[in-house]
């Protein structure tokens, strides 16, 4: 090959990496498009590609990176590089490959990502650029940047970098999978901006910011990757490309390239600002600024250079955007298309538009300036990118200071109105002062009571349970008869709500009834409303639930709409949420919880604890409504706030972890639920025993262990849950534990004990519930599976038919019916009824797929597809069976884990059909 100068190589190298990424059959057309604009460049590239192809024909690369094939392990697996051993390839590009590696020098355990330079580039400018990436990473130390661990050269002469291995998802998929709302997405973006700002402070431009280079770990930590084409901000100009003809025509990603990268302009920090603008656009709107679908290279270039993108708020409801994309964008952001449009309209549209300006000089002057505007948006403050008009600044001030503005408006009107108005304002100010003093007095009274109960009333060295402390508090309050009865009512409400939180419903109702009686004698709307709403919430967990809803509505009606009663309205909405949840009115519960959260955000005060409780209410309301993806995302956000407040080892944490894990289990994600349940049990332990752990939490953990194919562990937890529930005479959990033990004992092959479990629980349930209740369905299904296990075909089919018929009558289209159909299909398979099994499995799968959000992988779908695949395989319909089994594996591996028995069964059957 003829010698090429360093300057000439700087131009060629950008195109060569892209060419090596293209399939060989596409390179000729790519070269022709280059030649149309720069024949000399095309000729140089053609010579280099010819040389590369000759080396490939000589099998030059087969012993190295390109030898990896789908049908067998790569020869590089097991290679030792320094202290690390290569394990599996996790990435590939024109510069080389990235491997997952384990530390094997015996000093300590750990994993890393090792980036190997493509051997075809060794000794060329690619090696220089590879070395530069290592130098750049070595200079960057930031918690949101994947750091450099080590570097070296392999025995074959290949340079390599040892990098921090980030076990996470790309940021767009992470956000969508958890249905993160706009605010949560922006907080992740702020971490990305901090990382890029750190790079810029070290005179480094990333130049390839895109979702796949921004990963989010399972703990929510953002990591910025791949500084492979980063540019040092140095005085000398770097030759730039003149064309962008397809993906990778320069060593960058075209969809996230700035106009100056396409046209050959100067690369500055503004280049990264543009890419960040595209990233924010995608995270907010759910699609690229250039629009939906695949675009030709020429159209993409025109879009980048010439066309201003539509505002994100227009895109999410535009008729030019497909209905599916609009719906998915809203669902993935835990909202509706119209609400998403309203959220994005205004400041966020303006921020994105400024970041995406074609002229670098018109963009944000720095990444820090972009971050500052996003933080201002989250604080409801004026952003710098918006015209600084009086009307705009006033609107932002009002949003941040609603109460203060309301009072200031009264003052302004009073000034205009003259002396009479002045007297009105003075009276209002006194009322506000008196109201604040009353609230302070009540808070002090509760603080004094807490101090006495927790410290003074307990002799040194004595220990008390929570309920014992509450009893002492109640005893004290009942003997206090001061001048301020409102303070006494407020204290009784606090004690009653604590009883309610401990599930001591009888005590809660007794205390709250007294608070309600006293409150009705007071001329205090705040106390009357609070007492009424608190009592209503307690009644909602009893047979008097019909009284609860009218009471909470009456409590809300008592409250004036003035700002000083905002906290009371939030409290009553929270109680109303609890009532709606107990009534099973999930949508109503969601609406009330979100309204309470909105009021808190707009309040002139802030309360992190109240926000945490309201976020938990929102999450639980979504769960009650059956919207499990939104519930799981809301629980995850609440858990993040819980940790930030340092309360992740409290009783509240135990409740949150249980409900979050239960939601994931109901979604059909037992693999995700298991560690959260386990965390909930650990948090709930008051000491080395499980004395303080709820039997329901133990039972839920048993259920998820059984779902994961771990019946022996599941049996242990189910027995512990049963014993705790029986000791406390909790009949509800006793019956659920017996049903759970029935399933586990049957799976373990102990049919006698499984039958005894059902014999014990059936009389209780049949006495308490009608024949079409889900609990009776569980009994019938359990009997059917036991009959099948004994080989009683007739008995099993009769009971399975009974369960299906009952659910088709009472719950058509439900997931419970799908479960019953799959159960019957499994029994039919056992007895060779292949046609019937196929029909039932298809109906069940159709019901589940219609009920499962797009992209969500669940064990229910996986198990049902496995049943269908088995039925088809038994009929020797191999092609259809393979499709069903592939679907089963896709869902089961993700939801249950690769070692689950169902995964092994599906994989084995699929292999036999190849």
By annotation, the residues acting in catalysis are 208
111-117/84-93 β-pairing: unpaired
d(CA 814, CA 819): 9
Q: What is the three-class DSSP state of 300?
A: helix
DSSP state letters, 816-827: HHHHHHHHHHHH
How buried is residue 177: exposed, middle or buried, by Cβ count under 10 Å (0-12/13-18/19+)?
A: middle
CA Rg value for the chain = 33
- DSSP assignment letter at 98: E
Q: How far apart are CA 135 and CA 260, in angstroms?
A: 25
Question: Using an 8 Å Cβ cutoff, are 779 and 762 in contact?
Answer: yes
**Gap between the Cα atoms of 330 and 342, Å rounded:** 12
Indicate the angle between helix axes 6-21 and 39-57, nearest 10 degrees. 60
Q: What is the DSSP letter of 179?
A: T
Angle of CA points 57, 59, 63, to nearest 5°: 160
Strands of 643-742 (E only): list them.
none
Whose CA is closest to 166, among 146, 137, 191?
A: 146
Q: How much helix, strand and coil, in percent to the nearest 5, is found in the chain?
A: 65, 5, 30
Query: How many other CB atoms are found less than 10 A from the CB of residue 914?
Result: 6
In this structure, what token pair is assigned to residue 615?
């976020």
Contact 762, 778 (CB under 8 A): no
Residue 25 DSSP symbol = G
What is the C-alpha to C-alpha distance for residues 426 and 419, in angstroms, rounded to an integer? 11
- Helix, strand or coil, per DSSP, at residue 854: coil
Nearest 10 degrees: Cα torsion 582, 587, 590, 592: -80
DSSP-based three-state secondary structure for 107: coil
Return d(Cα 393, Cα 268) in angstroms, integer. 32
Phi, psi of 739 (to 5 degrees): -65, -40
Q: Which two tokens stand for residue 132?
A: 């530069």
Q: Which of 259, 252, 267, 246 lies closest to 304, judged by CA? A: 259
- Taking residue 761's Cβ as centre, other Cβ atoms within 10 Å add up to 22
- And the tokens for 79? 């290679």
DSSP H stretches of helix in 356-454? 367-378, 390-400, 402-417, 419-451
Q: Scan for tokens 């999410």, then name that residue.
A: 316
Contacts of 644 (CB under 8 A, 6+ apart): none
Query: Judging by beta carbons within 10 Å of its beta carbon (0-12, 13-18, 19+), is residue 62 exposed, middle or buried?
Result: exposed
| Under 8 Å between Cβ of 660 and 635 | yes
Residue with tokens 């399975």: 800
Please report, to the nearest 10 degrees, the dihedral formed by the alpha carbons of residues 114, 119, 121, 123 taken in order. Answer: 100
Backbone angles phi, psi at 144, to 5 degrees: -105, 15
CA distance 579 to 573: 10
Alpha carbon distances (Å) from 157 to 121, 152, 278, 841: 11, 9, 39, 56
DSSP helix/strand/coil, 150: strand
Residue 561 contacts residue 597 (beta carbons within 8 Å): no
Structure tokens at 348: 């966020």
């Amino acid at each position: 090959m003829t010698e090429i100068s360093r300057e000439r190589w700087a131009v060629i190298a950008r195109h060569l990496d892209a060419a090596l990424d293209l399939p060989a059959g596409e390179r000729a057309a790519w070269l022709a498009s280059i030649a149309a604009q720069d024949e000399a460049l095309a000729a140089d590239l053609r010579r280099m590609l010819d040389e590369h192809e000759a080396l490939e024909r000589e099998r030059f690369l087969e012993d190295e990176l390109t030898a990896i094939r789908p049908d067998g392990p790569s020869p590089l697996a097991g290679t030792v590089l320094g202290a690390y051993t290569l394990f599996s390839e996790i990435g590939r590009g024109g510069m080389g490959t990235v491997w997952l590696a384990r530390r094997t020098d015996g000093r300590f355990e750990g994993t890393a990502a090792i980036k190997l330079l493509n051997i075809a580039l060794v000794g060329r400018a690619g090696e220089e650029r590879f070395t530069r990436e290592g130098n750049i990473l070595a200079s960057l130390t930031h918690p949101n940047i994947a750091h450099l661990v080590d570097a070296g050269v392999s025995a074959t002469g290949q340079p390599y970098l040892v990098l921090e291995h980030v076990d996470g998802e790309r940021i767009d998929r992470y956000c969508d999978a958890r249905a993160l709302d706009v605010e949560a997405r922006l907080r992740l973006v702020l971490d990305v901006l901090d990382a890029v700002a750190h790079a810029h402070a070290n005179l480094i431009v990333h130049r390839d910011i895109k979702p796949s280079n921004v990963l989010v770990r399972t703990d929510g930590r953002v990591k910025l990757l791949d500084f492979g084409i980063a540019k040092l901000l140095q005085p000398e100009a770097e030759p730039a490309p003149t064309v962008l003809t397809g993906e990778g025509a320069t060593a960058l990603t075209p969809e996230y390239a700035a106009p100056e990268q396409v046209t050959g302009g100067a690369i500055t920090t503004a280049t990264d600002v543009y890419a960040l603008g595209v990233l924010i656009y995608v995270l907010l709107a759910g699609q690229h600024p250039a629009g939906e679908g695949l675009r030709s290279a020429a159209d993409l270039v025109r879009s980048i250079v010439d066309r201003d993108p539509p505002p994100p708020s227009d895109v999410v409801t535009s008729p030019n955007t497909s209905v599916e994309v609009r719906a998915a964008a809203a669902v993935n952001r835990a909202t509706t298309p119209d609400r998403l449009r309203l959220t994005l309209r205004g400041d966020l549209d303006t921020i994105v538009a400024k970041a995406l300006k074609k002229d670098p000089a018109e963009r944000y002057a720095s990444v820090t300036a972009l971050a500052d505007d996003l933080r201002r948006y989250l604080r409801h403050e004026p952003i710098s990118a918006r015209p600084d008009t009086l009307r705009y600044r006033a609107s932002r001030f009002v949003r941040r200071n609603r109460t203060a503005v309301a009072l200031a408006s009264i003052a302004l009107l009073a000034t205009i109105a003259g002396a009479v108005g002045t007297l009105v304002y003075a009276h209002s100010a006194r009322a506000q002062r008196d109201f604040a003093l009353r609230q302070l007095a009540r808070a002090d009274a509760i603080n004094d009571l807490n101090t006495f109960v927790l410290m003074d009333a307990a002799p040194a060295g004595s220990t008390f349970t929570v309920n014992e402390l509450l009893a002492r508090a109640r005893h004290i309050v009942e003997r206090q008869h001061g001048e301020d009865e409102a303070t006494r009512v407020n204290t009784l409400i606090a004690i009653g709500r604590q009883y309610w939180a401990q599930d001591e419903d009888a005590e809660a109702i007794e205390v709250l009834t007294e608070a309600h009686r006293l409150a009705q004698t007071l001329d205090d709307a705040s106390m009357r409303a609070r007492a009424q709403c608190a009592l209503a919430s307690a009644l909602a967990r009893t047979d008097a639930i019909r009284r609860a809803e009218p009471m909470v509505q009456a409590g809300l009606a008592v409250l004036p709409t003035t700002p000083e009663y905002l906290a009371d309205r939030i409290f009553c909405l929270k109680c109303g949420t609890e009532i709606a949840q107990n009534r099973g009115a999930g949508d109503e519960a969601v609406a009330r919880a979100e309204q309470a959260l909105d009021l808190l955000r707009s309040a002139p005060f802030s309360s992190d604890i109240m926000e945490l409780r309201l976020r938990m209410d929102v999450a639980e309301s979504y769960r009650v409504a059956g919207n499990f993806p939104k519930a799981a995302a809301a629980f995850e956000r609440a858990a993040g706030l819980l940790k930030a407040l340092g309360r992740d080892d409290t009783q509240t944490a135990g409740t949150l972890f249980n409900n979050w894990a239960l939601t994931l289990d109901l979604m059909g994600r037992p693999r995700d639920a298991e560690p959260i349940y386990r965390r909930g049990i650990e948090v709930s332990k008051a000491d080395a025993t499980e004395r303080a752990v709820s039997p329901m939490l133990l039972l839920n953990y048993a259920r998820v262990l059984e779902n994961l194919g771990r019946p022996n562990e599941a049996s242990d937890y189910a027995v512990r849950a049963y014993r705790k529930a029986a000791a406390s005479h909790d009949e509800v959990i006793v019956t659920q534990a017996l049903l759970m033990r029935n399933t586990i004992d049957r799976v373990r092959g102990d049919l006698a004990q499984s039958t005894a479990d059902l014999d014990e629980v059936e009389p209780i349930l049949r006495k308490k519930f009608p024949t079409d209740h889900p609990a009776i369905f569980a009994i019938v299904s359990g009997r059917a599976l036991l009959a099948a296990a004994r080989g009683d075909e007739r008995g099993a089919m009769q009971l399975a038919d009974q369960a299906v018929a009952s659910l088709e009558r009472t719950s058509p289209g439900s997931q419970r019916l799908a479960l019953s159909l799959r159960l019957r299909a499994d029994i039919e398979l056992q007895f060779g009824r292949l046609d019937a099994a196929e029909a039932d499995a298809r109906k069940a799968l159709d019901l589940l797929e219609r009920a499962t959000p797009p992209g969500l992988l669940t064990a229910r779908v996986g198990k049902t597809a496995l049943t269908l695949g088995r039925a088809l395989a038994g009929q020797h319909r191999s092609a259809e069976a393979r499709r069903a089994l592939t679907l089963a594996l896709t869902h089961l591996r993700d939801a249950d884990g690769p070692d689950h028995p169902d995964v092994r069964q599906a994989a084995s059957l699929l292999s036999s059909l190849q």
